[in-house]
Structure 1
Amino acid sequence: MSTTTSPQTAQATQAAKEAVGSKYVKEQMQTARERTWQVIERVAPRVVPGMRESEAAALCKAEMEALGMDRIWHPTIVRFGENTLRMFKERSVGDPVLRANDIFFLDLGVVWGAHEGDAGATFVVGDDAEMQACAAVAKTLFDDVEQHWRKTGAAGTALYAYADERAQALGWRLNLDIKGHRVSDFPHAIYRAGDLGDFDACPNAGMWILEIQIAHPTKPFGAFYEDLLY
């Protein structure tokens, strides 16, 4: 018996993984994206040495509330120092204090106007050149992979293979356990779409988050960047 998937079955599977609810409006996904980035841009400069992760998370919450969020859809993630190596589902070790020369990232999942925003970026305080390079490479890799998607229409699986290849070429380790995910009108989780890195079709705009998490090859810190493919 043949186990080959027919084109019709593949199309149906893709459609199911990219299903949306009755409230979904693509342009509203862009609005949710912009509002989430606005929070990050307001909070990041206020995260300073001597502050704890929990205090930075409280700043994020206050800013999201001030901008009129509906709710959060995933826990607010703030990572300082060695905790930047930890994945989304892993808890931070302790509640560390940001040092004078340190690295941190913010990862926010927020609902605005019934649509899910999700964004994350890495920042450096002080003048540690390797930390600055790490943060820069995470953004460079994101931009490179995003452009590869735009130019080639590559499937999600191919995008992460490309990301791994580019990370190695730049001398960094890509965490391939972090492979992106769906977003939509809230809640996207009902569609059980799986990770972007396991999606074997070209992801449509306004539906998928591309996540990049890297680690320094020898030192105990990393960097993270994510945004909506739009």
Structure 2
Amino acid sequence: MSVTPYSAQDGTKKDQVKTMFNRIAPRYDLLNHLLSFGIDRKWRKRVVKMVKGMKAPVILDVATGTGDLAIALSKSHPSAVYGVDISVGMLEKARQKVQKLGLQHTIILKEADSEALPFDRNTFDVVTVAFGVRNFGDLNAGLTEMGRVLKPGGKLIVLEFSRPANFPMKQLYNFYFKRILPLWGGLISKDKEAYTYLPASVMEFPEGEIFETELVNAGLHPEKSIRQTFGIATIYVALKPLQ
């Protein structure tokens, strides 16, 4: 995935993504819910349903951003939810929300790189990542790291944007992502390049069966992939082999 946020600037994709999210953090939540029409909340609830029923799981939420999924996962009665992100700006917004909700004893936030997670092997029952894998500098390294920290038999759940294939949603989606989202996102965030990069990263992301192959290459076993809302997003579920 070669697309980067700031084409005229030097630095790795990881460095540029970190800079981008620090810049847009103050208005990220507003834009995220506004530009997704709030549908992202429904998708997160479906991720949480996949965790409910597990007995006091220890959960890691990678690329946690402002903590929306980590906070939603706290309702699944976990032992703990760890949220990690490379952007200190996004983590500060997450900490404010966690404190306001009184969840600081359940949700532990850390600055960390998805490709070098500061946890021991076989630590977590569940690892989640929502709208983050397409921003990884090295997709295989990030997936492999998430697999490393999963317990054998543990579950990786990835929620990521995908591309509708059928008329008229395909055409509407492409128009919205290429015309509307960059315009309004740039105006509100004051960072036009960020909201040009975000849809471009979706268009480049290896979705569907190609992403399932990436999971296999990282040593994980794809269990199911569930398309959401006419194919706008997909929830991928993979397991770490027992041996």
The normalised TM-score by structure 2 is 0.30
If asked which structure has higher relative contact order (CA below 8 Å, sep 6+), I would say 1
Q: Quick check: which has more Rg, 1 or 2?
A: 1
Q: Which structure shows the bigger proportion of residues in helix conformation? A: 2
